[in-house]
């Protein structure tokens, strides 16, 4: 790993400040499972909201929330039953089981390993009280299939004309052989996916369009990244062409988001396996056809981790998370300098006013220096300190997280000050 210490420090901060905890920790944890703490869930919800707004603010993108467990035929049609596998090997010396990427064991280096066999990554379970083959179901390995099977339901109920898109945020599950880097590769994870249905002849144009749109949104969150296009041998079974947006994580550049040109693969396969027509009737041309699909797909946890890695700064006298003010879990901290009743009353009044529009934290204990450090570590863009003079001059001190500059501002002008700052 290029920067092991950054990852270690970041995870320690996440735990100490309530962003991330190992799952079921009192029982020793469960490999690759994580819980988002109070600030973690707030940050994650802010990311989801930013993605959802960016997608659904468009007149031709609508939302969906489909179920995690789907009819098992879905996975035959999608190709996941047959093709969603990783090569698995066992080391005859150290007895570890691993995903075969090289010709030797990644744990002990031995080349005394079994021939690789295909391991399907889908989680299985049983529907109902009888555990038999006929009740076998799967936890979805991607949210996309819920969108494909609902293509006509959404199109008809919302009277949509092609091109249009369907956006969905939800959990997906993959029995990864080698989960890694905390929330980067887990077995249970969030996905934010959008499938955009286009006439076949316009699909290349929309593929380029969505690459640019996704760039814009990630840049607005303060991320820098690079593209890695897939060669034909790296393409997933459903893809005609694809590009990954990669972020420089502490270990290396790695995949953050995928943009895939899925052609008519999914809709055609679902038509074939269900025997139901999944075609669009174009009222202008008076023809029916199977649209092509451009997909954007990003892991919620991966975006969360990338943003934290990019925001984490170790400065001479402090650690600070320079998160974009729009997504910070706490946007404004109200700090009353003492517990004197008048001061607390005034501080609470300011808190109640600002809370109508912003995520606000309130703190009136401990030294002001320590309180500033804590807010820096959780990425709070502004602190508002109420002191004894505030009672006289009706002014407060606003501290900027990034410059640490302090400004005396009248209480009345706080709303316009923050309107400019967010």
Judged by the rule CB under 6 A, the positions of this chain that interact with ligand GAP are 142, 144, 174, 176, 185-186, 189, 191, 193, 255-258, 295, 297-299, 301-302
Dist CA 249 CA 268 (whole Å): 37
Q: Name the minimum Å distance from CB 146 to ligand GAP.
A: 11
Scanning the structure block, which residue is given the tokens 């609470």?
Answer: 348
Closest CA to 123 of 65, 52, 171: 171
Q: What does the block give as tokens for 330?
A: 């706490």
Q: Name the minimum Å distance from CB 17 to ligand GAP.
A: 22
Q: Name the minimum Å distance from CB 403 to ligand GAP.
A: 33
The smaller minimum CB distance to ligand GAP, of residues 185 and 351, is found at 185
Q: Which residue's Cβ lies closest to ligand GAP?
A: 299
The smaller minimum CB distance to ligand GAP, of residues 301 and 325, is found at 301
Find out whether 17 and 39 touch, Cβ atoms under 8 Å: yes
Q: Name the minimum Å distance from CB 299 to ligand GAP.
A: 3
Three-class SS of residue 54?
A: helix
Q: What does the block give as tokens for 350?
A: 């300011």
Find out whether 122 and 141 touch, Cβ atoms under 8 Å: yes
How far apart, in Å, are the Cα atoms of 378 and each of 18, 73, 303?
9, 45, 17
H or E segment to which residue 242 belongs: strand 241-248
Find out whether 35 and 206 touch, Cβ atoms under 8 Å: no
Q: Name the minimum Å distance from CB 43 to ligand GAP.
A: 16
Write b or e for each residue in 104-117: b if 16 or more Cβ atoms lie within 10 A of its Cβ, otherwise e.
ebeeeeeeebeeee
Alpha carbon distance, N-terminus to C-terminus of the chain: 36
The smaller minimum CB distance to ligand GAP, of residues 118 and 416, is found at 118
Q: Name the minimum Å distance from CB 364 to ligand GAP.
A: 39
Q: Name the minimum Å distance from CB 210 to ligand GAP.
A: 13
The smaller minimum CB distance to ligand GAP, of residues 210 and 382, is found at 210
The smaller minimum CB distance to ligand GAP, of residues 176 and 364, is found at 176
Three-class SS of residue 301?
A: helix
| H-helix segments, 99-246 | 144-149, 151-157, 203-220
Cis peptide before 163 (omega within 30 of 0): yes
The smaller minimum CB distance to ligand GAP, of residues 163 and 301, is found at 301
The smaller minimum CB distance to ligand GAP, of residues 165 and 325, is found at 165
How far apart, in Å, are the Cα atoms of 144 and each of 194, 197, 255, 273, 401?
8, 13, 18, 17, 39
Q: What does the block give as tokens for 374?
A: 């804590």
Q: Name the minimum Å distance from CB 175 to ligand GAP.
A: 9
The smaller minimum CB distance to ligand GAP, of residues 144 and 328, is found at 144
Closest CA to 267 of 284, 291, 251: 291
Other C-beta atoms closer than 10 Å to the C-beta of 236 total: 15
Q: Name the minimum Å distance from CB 244 to ligand GAP.
A: 7
Find out whether 22 and 29 touch, Cβ atoms under 8 Å: yes
Find out whether 382 and 332 touch, Cβ atoms under 8 Å: yes
The smaller minimum CB distance to ligand GAP, of residues 17 and 302, is found at 302
The smaller minimum CB distance to ligand GAP, of residues 41 and 411, is found at 41
Dist CA 254 CA 257 (whole Å): 9
Please state the φ and ψ torsions of residue 207, each to the nearest 5 degrees.
Answer: -60, -50
Q: Name the minimum Å distance from CB 33 to ligand GAP.
A: 11
């Amino acid at each position: 790993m290029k920067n092991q210490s950054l990852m270690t420090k970041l995870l320690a901060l996440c735990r100490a400040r309530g962003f991330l905890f190992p799952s079921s920790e009192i029982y020793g944890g469960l490999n690759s499972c994580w819980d988002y703490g109070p600030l973690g869930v707030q940050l994650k919800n802010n990311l989801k909201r930013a993605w959802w707004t960016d997608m659904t603010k468009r007149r031709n993108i609508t939302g969906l929330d489909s179920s995690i467990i789907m009819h098992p035929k879905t996975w035959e049609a999608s190709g996941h039953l047959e093709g969603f596998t990783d090569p698995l090997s066992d080391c005859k010396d150290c007895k570890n089981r691993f995903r075969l990427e090289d010709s030797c064991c990644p744990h002990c280096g031995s080349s005394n390993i079994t021939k690789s066999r295909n391991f399907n990554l889908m989680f299985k379970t049983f529907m109902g009280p009888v555990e038999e083959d006929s009740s076998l179901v799967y936890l979805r390995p991607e949210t996309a299939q819920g969108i494909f099977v609902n293509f006509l339901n959404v199109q008809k109920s919302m009277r949509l004309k092609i091109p249009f898109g369907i956006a969905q945020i939800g959990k997906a599950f993959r029995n990864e052989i080698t989960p890694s880097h905390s929330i980067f590769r887990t077995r249970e994870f969030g996905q934010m996916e959008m499938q955009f249905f286009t006439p076949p002849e316009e699909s290349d144009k929309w593929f380029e369009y969505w690459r640019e749109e996704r760039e814009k949104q990630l840049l607005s969150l303060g991320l820098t990244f690079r593209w890695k296009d897939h060669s034909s041998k790296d393409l997933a079974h459903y893809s005609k062409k694809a590009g990954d947006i990669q972020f420089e994580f502490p270990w290396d550049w790695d995949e953050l988001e995928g943009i895939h040109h899925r052609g008519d693969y999914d809709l055609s396969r679902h038509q074939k396996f269900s025997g139901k027509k999944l075609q669009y009737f174009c009222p202008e041309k008076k023809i029916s056809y199977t649209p092509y699909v451009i997909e954007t797909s990003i892991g919620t946890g991966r975006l969360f981790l990338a943003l934290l890695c990019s925001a984490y700064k170790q400065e001479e006298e402090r650690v600070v998370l320079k998160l974009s003010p729009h997504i910070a879990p706490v946007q404004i901290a109200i700090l009353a300098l003492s517990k004197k009743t008048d001061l607390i009353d005034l501080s609470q009044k300011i808190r109640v006013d600002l809370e109508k529009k912003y995520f606000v934290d309130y703190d009136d204990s401990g030294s002001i220096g320590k309180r500033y450090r804590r807010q820096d570590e959780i990425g709070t863009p502004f602190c508002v300190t109420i002191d004894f003079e505030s009672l006289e001059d009706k002014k407060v001190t606003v501290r900027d997280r990034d410059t640490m500059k302090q400004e005396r501002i009248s209480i009345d002008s706080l709303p316009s000050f923050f309107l400019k700052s967010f």
